[in-house]
Amino acid sequence: MKILSDQNYRPGLEGVIATETTLSYLDVEQEQIVIRGYDLIELATKVDYLRVAYLLVAGHLPTETEYNAFTEQLTAEQKVPEEIFQIMGSLGPHTHLMDAVRTGLSALATFDPALTDRDPDNTWRQALTLLATMPTIVANSYHIQNHEPVIYPDPTLGYSRNFLQMITGRIPDDTETRAFDQLLTVYSEHEMPNSTFTAIVIASTLSDMYGALVGAIASLKGTLHGGANEAVMKMLLEMQSPDQVEPYLMEKLAKKERIMGFGHRVYMRKPDPRALLMKESLKELVAIKGHHDLYEMCVKGEEVMQREKGLFPNLDYYAAPVYYLLDVPIELYTPIFFAARTAGLVAHVREQYEHNRLFRPRVLYTGPRNLHP
């Protein structure tokens, strides 16, 4: 077997092609996120999250008949076994909500009667179960950790409206629901980030779908991946007002501290199209709910970072204040990211099963040789 030389080594696997996929592609030059042939931003403005989820998992946009059957199946699968809530309630007082969700998902796997069956019909069923139950688990991870009553799904509400009402305890209006639905859509799939790669590496061993997603949660928890959205909101709250944005950022930059919400391993010097959409969504919410200073802070921060570092905001930068205006607790930002990304993750896992090859890379060894005891 050929040993890779340093000519082939890329720290962090940057730019390395890891797999073939028909699911998505980040076309940086065209500033487009391709989802099974469609532009993700166009999808987010024209269809709802569940249609995009169906597209990812099934491979095509649903007909009305397929969509209705899909939503009925998801509604039927929304209920989570009470034992899951009991397990989540037994966790320690300092539990991060991503760890609570990870535990809930891992426990949910034990209720699957065909956990290791990788037949396409069964993995379709598992995909629907995960899509249906993740909002219930995610929303209630917060309530349980804060000793609040569990909020159960309302089968009379649509997917996104129901998800948001389980978080806030109130039924959101149409503007709030649309903003939240767009958030779910733009987070639904993004080619091959660390968490998706983790999921398909696990799936390549022929482990079960739940296990693959448990690994993805652990990856997504990190502040360099999903946790960035929480850090962005905390940063905005520390700034307090638009006139404090520039001095705050300049001080951070002088200390060579990382500014969360800017830069991206793939986009680098190109705008994240999802951030541009969420910027418009934030503008619409501000017009209705107030907090114009929050929008002004974000715009000012964008200007400073573009001037000083040549960096564009990524999705997290504008998603965070949208969450905030929707009354979503900061601790739930990353778990919601995972719930939305479940659609892409289960689609990748199913695709890996269909054309599987075990991942087994090599290393560039830099240690000593020929030592003797």
User: Do 155 and 75 touch, CB atoms closer than 8 A?
Assistant: yes
Which phi and psi (to 5°) does residue 26 adopt?
A: -95, 105
- Helices 82-89 & 120-145, crossing angle to 10 degrees? 50
Name the catalytic one among 143, 264, 272, 348.
264
Token code pair at residue 259: 């500014």
Pairing mode of beta strands 32-35, 38-39: antiparallel
**How many CB atoms within 10 Å of residue 134?**
26
Q: What's the Cα-to-Cα distance from 364 to each of 1, 5, 107, 232, rounded to whole Å?
A: 14, 7, 38, 36
Catalytic annotation present for 60: no
Using alpha carbons, select from 68, 69, 51 the residue that is nearest to residue 60.
Answer: 51
For 125-181, give the DSSP string.
HHHHHHHHHHHHHHHHHHHHHTT-------TTS-HHHHHHHHHHSS---HHHHHHHH
Contacts of 296 (CB under 8 A, 6+ apart): 242
The catalytic position among 99, 208, 272, 316 is 316
Q: Report residue 188 as tokens.
A: 């639904």
- CA–CA distances in Å: residue 262 to residues 83, 204, 227, 241: 40, 32, 13, 19
- Assess contact for 36 and 24: CB atoms under 8 A: yes
**Integer Cα distance of 358 and 200 in angstroms:** 9
Catalytic-residue membership of 96: no
Which 8-state DSSP code applies to residue 350?
H
The H or E element that residue 353 is part of is: helix 333-354
Contact present, 160 and 177 (Cβ < 8 Å): yes
Rg from Cα positions in the chain:
21
Which bin fits 62, alpha (ψ -120 to 50), beta or left (φ > 0)?
Answer: beta
- Catalytic residue numbers, as ranges: 264, 316
